């Protein structure tokens, strides 16, 4: 067997795993999802899910990946062919997320240039510029194409050289700029209402929809439930401490999401914008915030979108990598061929997703494809993928085998092993099942229940044909 590629260094792995986690999910999706779900209560539940479910599932993914030394599908398959579908579901999730993620990545890329092309000079039009840009049938497609191409270039160069370098460079910059934005936002008049909105839970706002959104957001943001961290774990050295790695990545990801929230909401409240403004949030708030700062503002806004683009890239290369690893490991393709095949499918999906925002193209159960890809993955596939992984680790793998892997054969102290194991084996599968079921039930009130059931149906079909996959 070919020797598996390995990470060049420890810091390389952390940066790549954190790079996968920190992305549009934190900076684009988290703020507007929090806004749409009532703020504080959503944030609180999100944090609980991240700490109890997210961290535990990440540790389990690392352990399974490194133990089996195989990417998602192979790891499941090597234990039991009836489980192959759980890995394939992850590959499907990767494909579907890559059916809309590059569209938003393209927006971020486009905004680097828009900022320097006079976007900030008419602040009252910033909102309209965004809404007419994303429904334009050609412009966003070009940016999306360039963005996808960047992914292809990075992933076709292989694990350690490509992903690591991209991960190391601009992440710290993003963090710094978010801090600048936060400080600037907090100094505006009326900003404190935004802080309260984000951190003061109104418990009456907790509904089944809010619970499922928080769960989906936790999985999406931490890159879990689709085999990404299994794949990354399979490239990880036997000596690395999985517990501290999982803890660090979870903490960094959550820190950036909260910081992004703090960067957006105070400014929004100061500008009298609607917290439920939807997917345009970052693209409208950040330029507005810097509009009155002259050329300094230009530079900050430009750097922000540059850093956002890079953060998005380090996430989407990990998504592409899952699909590519599948074609390489399971379909015997060369890396280049695997990248070409995956990217060709993705570009078609992305074009359709982008056009759907302008009302063009096919619909499924009344929803455009951008929403369909997002909803299926964020609300169903990732959470169920996480449930399956937990059941797999808890019930199909041997407890001592897991203990050995997680503690590096006893070298790493992990006093909470028993608690973690109970979470993985019983509590997490149960919790996800309840949250997903009630979320689907409540989805029928908002007209998305049918799509969610379709998602469940797809999983069942994959499960039935598991041995053939």
Which residue ranges make up the site for ligand PHE (CB under 6 A)?
Answer: 20-21, 23-26, 97, 220-221, 223, 226, 228, 315, 318-319
* In the complex, minimum distance from the CB of residue 187 to ligand PHE, in angstroms, rounded to a whole number: 28
Angle at 167 between CA 166 and CA 168, to 5 degrees: 95
Closer of 175 and 426 to ligand PHE (Cβ): 175
Cβ-based neighbours of 248, under 8 Å, separated by 6 or more: 14, 18
* Helix spans in 10-122 (H): 10-21, 24, 30-36, 40-49, 55-68, 72-79, 84-97, 101-116
Measured from the CB of residue 94, what is the shortest distance to ligand PHE in angstroms? 7
Is the Cβ of residue 23 or residue 455 nearer to ligand PHE in the bound state? 23
Q: How far is the CB of 410 from ligand PHE (least distance, A)?
A: 31
Angle formed by the axes of helices 72-79 and 55-68, to 10°? Answer: 70
Q: What share of the chain is helix, strand, coil (3-state, %, to 5)?
A: 80, 0, 20
Closest approach, Cβ 134 to ligand PHE, in A, equals 18
Closer residue to ligand PHE, CB minimum distance, 88 or 270: 88
- Provide, rounded to whole angstroms, the least separation between the CB of residue 227 and ligand PHE: 9
Question: Rounded to the nearest whole angstrom, what is the least distance from the CB of residue 23 to ligand PHE in the complex?
Answer: 2
Please name which of 381, 353, 371, 326 lies closest in space to residue 102, comparing C-alpha atoms: 353
SS3 of residue 342 by DSSP: helix
Closer of 151 and 431 to ligand PHE (Cβ): 151
Let me know the angle formed at the C-alpha of 254 by 250 and 255, rounded to the nearest 5 degrees.
115
Closest to ligand PHE by CB, 220 vs 392, is 220
The residue of the chain with the least Cβ separation from ligand PHE equals 25
User: Measured from the CB atom, is 23 or 429 closer to ligand PHE?
Assistant: 23
Tell me the C-alpha to C-alpha distance, in Å, between residue 18 and each of 21, 107, 253, 352, 435: 5, 22, 7, 30, 27
């Amino acid at each position: 067997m070919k020797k598996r590629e390995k990470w060049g260094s420890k810091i390389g792995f952390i940066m790549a795993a954190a790079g996968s986690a920190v992305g549009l999910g934190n900076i684009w999706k988290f703020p507007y999802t929090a806004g749409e779900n009532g703020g504080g209560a959503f944030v609180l539940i999100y944090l609980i899910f991240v700490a109890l479910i997210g961290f535990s599932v990440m540790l389990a993914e690392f352990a399974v990946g490194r133990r089996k030394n195989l990417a998602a599908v192979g790891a499941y398959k090597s234990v039991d062919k009836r489980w192959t579908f759980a890995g394939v579901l992850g590959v499907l999730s990767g494909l579907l997320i890559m059916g809309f993620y590059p569209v938003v990545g393209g927006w971020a890329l486009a905004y680097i240039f828009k900022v320097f092309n006079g976007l900030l000079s008419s602040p009252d039009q910033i909102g309209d510029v965004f809404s007419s840009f994303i429904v334009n049938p050609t412009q966003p497609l070009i940016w999306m194409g360039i963005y996808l191409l960047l992914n292809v270039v990075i992933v076709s160069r292989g694990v350690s050289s490509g992903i690591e370098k991209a991960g190391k460079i601009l992440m710290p910059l993003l963090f710094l700029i978010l801090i600048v934005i936060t400080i600037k936002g907090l100094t505006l008049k009326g900003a404190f209402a935004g802080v309260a909105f984000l951190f003061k839970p109104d418990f009456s706002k907790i509904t089944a929809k809010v619970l499922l959104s928080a769960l989906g957001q936790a999985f999406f943001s931490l890159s879990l439930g689709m085999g990404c961290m299994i794949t990354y774990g399979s490239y990880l050295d036997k000596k690395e401490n999985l517990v501290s790695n999982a803890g660090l990545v979870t903490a960094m990801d959550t820190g950036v999401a909260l910081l992004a929230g703090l960067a957006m909401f105070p400014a929004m409240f100061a500008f009298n914008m609607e917290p439920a403004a939807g997917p345009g949030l970052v693209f409208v708030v950040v330029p507005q915030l810097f509009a009155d700062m002259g050329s300094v503002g230009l530079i900050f806004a430009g750097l922000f979108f540059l850093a956002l683009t890079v953060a998005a890239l380090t996430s989407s290369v990990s998504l592409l990598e899952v699909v590519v690893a599948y074609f390489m490991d399971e379909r015997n393709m060369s890396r280049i061929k695997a990248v070409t095949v995956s990217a060709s499918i993705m570009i078609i999906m992305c074009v359709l997703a982008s056009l759907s925002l302008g009302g063009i193209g096919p619909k499924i159960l009344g929803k455009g494809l951008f929403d369909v890809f997002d909803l299926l993955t964020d609300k169903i596939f990732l959470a169920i993928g996480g449930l399956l992984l937990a059941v797999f680790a808890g019930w199909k793998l041997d407890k001592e085998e897991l203990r050995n892997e997680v503690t590096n054969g006893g070298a790493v102290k992990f006093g909470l092993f028993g608690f973690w194991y109970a979470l993985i084996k019983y509590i997490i599968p149960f919790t996800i099942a309840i949250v997903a079921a009630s979320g689907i039930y409540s989805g029928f009130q908002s007209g998305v229940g049918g799509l969610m059931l379709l998602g469940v149906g797809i999983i069942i079909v994959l499960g039935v044909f598991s041995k053939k996959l």
